[in-house]
Amino acid sequence: MKGPAPRGVPPYWARAKRQLAERDPVMKSLIRRHPGVALVGRGEAFSTLARSIVGQQISVKAADRIWVRFIEAVGEVTPPGVLKAGERNLAGAGLSRRKVEYLLDLARHVESRKLRPAAWAAMDDDAVIAELTRVRGIGRWTAEMFLIFTLLRPDVLPVDDLGLLRAAGIHYLEGRVPAKAELLELARPWQPWRTVATWYLWRSLDPVPVEY
């Protein structure tokens, strides 16, 4: 998808639902089961990536608490704000040493233009992932969540996502969790709407949408 990601529900959502339902009876059932809800894009790029780092490997409740303290430490969630706060103040917000290093690395990448958020709308998915994963603390899964929830890309299939693998096993393989290659093959009919199919499979496990 080229061009800037829109706020709110992606413009392709209705067409994607219709085509998935026509091709795949499982998708048809899942879509009917969850009317009136859709992926909603929110968040500015830098703050979204910073929050993903803050929330790594801790509970949602703990991440929310530390995020509030992080905002107090930096004042404004921008690269200059993070760099000005420095290691001591970031650690004082309850962040581990490693997460402090990751956040400072993210801020330096944006400040030095090694990361170019303004260019991402015109870049394909793999190029954005390659750029993001140069930052310490941002792996492929985090980059894929960014593509889905911030850039609203329509055809992302996060094959390392445990929820997606579990849901695909439940609905397509009688409970057997697929291998990654098997999931890729299973997802062929969903193209070019694998983001949307993923989102509905997530909803089958948790009806309350999660935003990253």
Residues involved in catalysis: 161
Q: What is the 3-state secondary structure (H, E, C) of 113-150?
A: CCCCHHHHHHCCHHHHHHHHCCCCCCCHHHHHHHHHHC
Tokens linked to 128: 């954005």
How far apart, in Å, are the Cα atoms of 35 and each of 8, 31, 51, 91?
Answer: 16, 7, 29, 43
User: How many C-beta atoms surround the C-beta of residue 174 within 10 A?
Assistant: 7
Number of other residues whose CB lies within 10 A of the CB of residue 212: 17
Is 8 in a helix, a strand, or coil?
A: strand
With 0-12 CB in 10 A as exposed, 13-18 as middle and 19+ as buried, what is 162?
exposed
CA distance 58 to 136: 18
